[in-house]
Structures are given as structure tokens and as C-alpha cells.
């Protein structure tokens, strides 16, 4: 058997197509790393200038003295003033991000315009708003972001105290739940503001600043959905994703883990089966889809079967080589990604562990990059193995390489579309496409529909694999090669 496998590998690596596939793999790896690591920053200045011109035109066409147009004029003028203010700062500065994310600047400008152009003007309020606006501009110009945070934190704490006092005098259950929810949402915002001060995280576009915004958004989503009864499937998925994002963001912030580029070489490597999965599938299918059919098409099958080996051993050797090629292609992409990614992003990025949220234990899990990669590859391996086996089976049955390659590739392409119908037709959950990606069960995850778990999916994959191999060996053993 070993000799047969060696001979098959020798024949395989004697073909130019194998080297072409490896060259394509390396080339795509280089391209992917360059594209992911390109520092693409969009200067919004030109867009802002165009928007300003648009608002200027609008303002010329609106009569703020007209009662029906007054509110629209004030809104338009406020947006115009906001854009004019942003032009004073770089598009990627913390000032620009703060103006976009905070309500304080917008609300102050709105108050100025309401008391300047509104139907119910108030000179005193106008003066106060203008004074507040001058303070805001001074802080923005001086880079004093901490004062903004401190003021927001104080306001949030006062709001929470106000809600706490209200709870003492309210009996209505629904109102109590609404107030408690507001308190929890306030605590989320309070925690984010405390992190900014404690970790010295400005409102810039840095990784940790982004994680703070992600934490606020996801934590609020969790708070709003956690006690909701009869969640829809979409809401359940949103709750699950938000819970994961909330906890992973919290871990990054509390441990002060700063990543310069989220889409760096580490990201590509840990998502290897997603980024390069289609290439691994196609390359493996090409090998498996031609390894038997080419023997029939060239007529070399007769010479092969004259050797002192049984048909089963010959076919098994070819199948083992097809499986070996899956592993070789995966290893090739891993090595290429590590080397190319390390050169582009720096090899130190691979030292940063992968952070995952375990739904089964409700805890954060940190895993070394290569350990995580091995786990992911093993979980996706059934898909590669089943598609390769399908190509191998078709190659043996049809003796047509084109058919053996095209059908598995098409099957891989339409798998996700097919899985959409599983909720409507429950029996489809036992189809192979709903079960061949075992990575969905990692870290307490669930299958794509009810009634599936890791072991059921694994057993289903094994059954499909055994059926295809059984058909393949039976057909090959009974094949008449006299007329080939």
C-alpha cells in the first residue's frame, strides 16, 4: 500500500497543474495581505464641502420666518454649522469623531439656532448657548477631551441617581421595569466613560476607542433583548452576537490590548478557512476529480490494473492521496500566510491570542493563534473531505473530469442557499450541508437549526462519507475496462 501511495504522489507531483495551484496559492496570499494591510484612509473634507454647499443652497431657499418652514430651517442650519465646525479638524482626528458621536455639540448648536431663528426666541438662553459653544470650541482646539468625558460622566451619574430616587415612589410594574432598564443603560454608558479616563482612550479612530463604541452598542442591545420573551430567530441571533461582542470588547479594553490593524496577518490566519477556504476546496476537488477519470481518459487504467494489487488497494491509494492533498493545500496556505503575513504585518502579531466568548460557561476564552487555527481547521475538515470525496466518487463513476470537478464546486457554492430552506423543511437538517461545518459548535455554539449538535452532525457526515466511498469502491470493482 505504501508503494502505491508513493507512486500516486510521484505521478501527481509530476504534473504541472499542481505547481500552478501552489503558485496561485502563494500569489493570492501575497495579494490578500497587501490589500488587508493597505492604509486606506478616506479624506471626507471634499464630501463635507459638497454637503456644505448643498445646505447653503437649501438655506437660501427656506424662509425661516415662515412658520411651516421654521423647524426645517433650524435643522438645516444646525447640520450646516456642524459641518463647518468639522472642517477645522483633520477627518481622522478625535475632534471629528467626538463631534459625530456626541450629542453635546449638536444640541448646543440647535439651541443657538432655535434662539436665533426660532419663533420663540429667548435672548438669555441664546447667550448661554453661545457661551457654552465657545467653551466647546476652546476644548476641541486645546485637545481637552478629558473634560468632555468628565462632564458626560457626571451627567450620567446624576441621571442614574434621579432614576434611583424615582423607583422609591413608583408602584406600577411596567414603569419600574422601564426605569430599571434606563438605569442599566446608564451604567453601560458610565462604564464606557470611566474606561476612557482610566485607560486614557481618546475619541480617535484607534482600536480601543472603537471597542468602547462596540461595547456600548452591544451591551445596550443585550440589555434590551435579554428579558424579552418569545424572541424571534433574528433576535436570538442578534442577542448572541451582541453578548459575544460585549464581552470580547470588554476583555480587550480591560486588558489594554491595542491592535494596530484588526485585519492584519493574525486576522487572516485565524480566519484561514474563510479567507482561503474556496481555494482549498477547488484545489482539492481538482485533484480528486481527475485522479481516477484521467486514468480512463488516457487509457492508462489498463496498465495500472495489471499490477499485482487488488482494485480496492489501487483505488484506496488514490483516495488516500486525495486526502493527503487536502492537508498539503491547508499546510501550504498556513505556511504562506505566516511568512507573507509576518513580513507585511510583523511576526509579533501572531503572539496576540484569539479572544472568544464561551456561551456554555459564560466566560472569556483566550487561545494561542496556532492552537485556535488547528481547532478551526479540524472543525471545517469534514466539509473539505466530503466535497473531495464527492469529486472522487464522480470521477470514478462518470470517468469525466469536468463533471467530477463542476458538480462539487457548484454544490459548495449553493450550500448556503440550500441551508436557508432548512427551517421550512425540517428533514433537510439531516442533509450534509447543514452539518459539515462543525465550527458552529465551538465555544458553546448551536447548530443552524434545532435538533442538531456536534455528535449528530459528525455522525451524519460520517454516514455520507461511508455511502459515497461504498458506491465508489463497488462501481470501480465491477467496472469493465476492456473497451476503455
The three-point CA angle 185-187-188 to 5° equals 65
Q: For residue range 450-467, what is the model confidence (pLDDT) as tens digits? A: 788 899 999 999 999 999
Q: pLDDT: is 142 or 445 the higher one?
A: 142
387: nearest Cα among 277, 274, 285: 285
C-alpha 68/C-alpha 230 separation (Å) is 44
Q: Enumerate the domain spans of the chain.
A: 2-38+264-478, 44-91+93-143, 144-204+207-257
Q: What is the pLDDT confidence band of residue 483, given thresholds at 50, 70 and 90?
A: low
The mean pLDDT value of the chain amounts to 87
Backbone angles phi, psi at 186, to 5 degrees: -65, -40
Per-residue pLDDT tens digits for 56-90 = 999 989 988 888 889 999 999 999 999 999 988 88
**Using one digit for the tens of pLDDT, what is the confidence trace for 173-226?**
888 888 888 899 999 999 999 999 999 999 887 889 989 999 999 999 998 888
Which of 284, 287, 279, 330 shows the shortest CA–CA distance to 15?
287
- Cα 5 to Cα 1, 136, 390, 454, distances in angstroms: 6, 75, 20, 32
Give me the mean pLDDT over the 240-259 stretch. 91
Residue 103: the pLDDT is 86
The model's pLDDT over 89-133, given as tens digits with 9 standing for 90+, comes to 888 889 988 998 888 999 999 999 999 998 888 899 999 999 999
C-alpha cell at 36: 488587508
Predicted confidence (pLDDT) at residue 47 exceeds the cutoff of 90: no
CA gap 278, 285 in Å, rounded: 10
Instruction: Supply the pTM of this predicted model.
Output: 0.80
Which residue is associated with the grid cell 482494485?
311
354/21: higher pLDDT: 354
Amino acid at each position: 500500500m505504501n508503494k502505491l501511495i508513493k507512486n500516486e504522489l510521484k505521478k501527481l507531483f509530476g504534473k504541472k497543474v499542481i505547481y500552478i495551484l501552489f503558485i496561485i496559492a502563494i500569489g493570492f496570499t501575497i495579494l490578500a495581505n497587501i490589500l488587508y494591510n493597505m492604509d486606506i484612509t478616506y479624506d471626507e473634507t471634499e464630501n463635507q464641502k459638497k454637503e456644505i454647499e448643498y445646505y447653503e443652497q437649501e438655506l437660501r431657499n427656506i424662509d425661516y420666518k415662515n412658520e411651516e418652514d421654521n423647524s426645517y430651517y433650524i435643522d438645516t442650519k444646525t447640520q450646516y454649522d456642524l459641518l463647518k465646525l468639522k472642517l477645522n479638524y483633520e477627518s481622522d482626528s478625535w475632534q471629528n469623531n467626538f463631534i459625530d458621536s456626541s450629542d453635546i455639540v449638536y444640541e448646543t448648536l440647535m439651541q443657538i439656532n432655535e434662539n436665533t431663528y426660532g419663533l420663540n426666541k429667548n435672548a438669555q438662553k441664546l447667550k448661554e448657548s453661545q457661551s457654552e459653544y465657545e467653551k466647546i470650541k476652546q476644548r476641541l482646539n486645546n485637545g481637552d477631551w478629558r473634560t468632555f468625558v468628565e462632564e458626560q460622566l457626571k451627567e450620567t451619574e446624576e441621571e442614574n441617581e434621579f432614576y434611583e430616587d424615582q423607583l422609591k415612589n413608583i408602584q406600577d410594574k411596567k414603569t419600574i421595569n422601564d426605569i430599571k432598564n434606563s438605569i442599566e443603560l446608564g451604567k453601560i454608558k458610565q462604564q464606557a466613560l470611566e474606561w476612557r479616563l482610566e485607560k486614557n482612550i481618546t475619541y480617535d479612530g484607534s482600536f480601543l476607542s472603537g471597542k468602547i463604541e462596540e461595547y456600548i452598542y452591544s451591551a445596550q442591545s443585550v440589555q434590551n433583548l435579554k428579558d424579552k420573551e418569545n424572541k424571534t430567530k433574528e433576535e436570538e441571533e442578534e442577542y448572541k452576537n451582541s453578548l459575544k461582542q460585549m464581552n470580547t470588547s470588554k476583555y480587550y479594553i480591560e486588558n489594554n490590548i491595542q491592535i494596530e490593524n484588526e485585519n492584519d496577518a493574525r486576522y487572516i490566519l485565524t480566519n484561514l478557512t474563510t479567507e482561503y477556504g474556496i481555494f482549498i476546496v477547488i484545489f482539492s476537488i481538482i485533484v480528486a476529480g481527475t485522479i481516477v477519470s484521467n486514468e480512463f481518459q488516457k487509457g492508462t487504467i489498463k496498465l495500472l490494473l495489471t499490477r499485482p494489487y487488488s482494485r480496492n488497494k489501487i483505488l484506496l491509494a488514490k483516495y488516500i492521496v486525495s486526502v493527503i492533498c487536502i492537508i498539503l493545500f491547508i499546510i501550504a496556505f498556513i505556511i504562506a500566510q505566516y511568512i507573507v503575513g509576518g513580513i507585511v504585518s510583523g511576526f509579533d502579531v501572531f503572539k496576540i491570542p484569539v479572544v472568544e466568548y464561551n456561551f456554555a460557561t459564560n466566560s472569556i476564552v483566550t487561545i494561542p493563534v496556532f492552537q485556535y487555527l488547528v481547532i478551526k481547521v479540524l472543525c471545517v475538515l469534514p466539509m473539505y473531505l466530503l466535497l473531495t470525496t464527492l469529486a472522487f466518487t464522480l470521477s470514478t463513476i462518470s470517468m469525466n473530469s469536468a463533471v467530477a470537478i463542476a458538480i462539487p464546486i457548484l454544490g459548495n457554492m449553493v450550500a448556503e442557499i440550500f441551508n436557508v430552506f432548512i427551517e421550512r423543511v425540517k428533514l433537510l437538517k439531516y442533509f450534509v450541508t447543514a452539518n459539515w461545518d462543525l465550527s458552529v459548535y465551538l465555544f458553546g455554539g448551536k447548530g443552524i437549526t434545532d435538533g442538531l449538535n456536534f455528535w449528530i452532525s459528525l455522525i451524519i457526515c460520517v454516514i455520507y462519507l461511508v455511502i459515497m466511498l461504498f458506491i465508489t469502491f463497488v462501481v470501480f470493482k465491477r467496472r469493465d475496462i476492456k473497451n476503455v
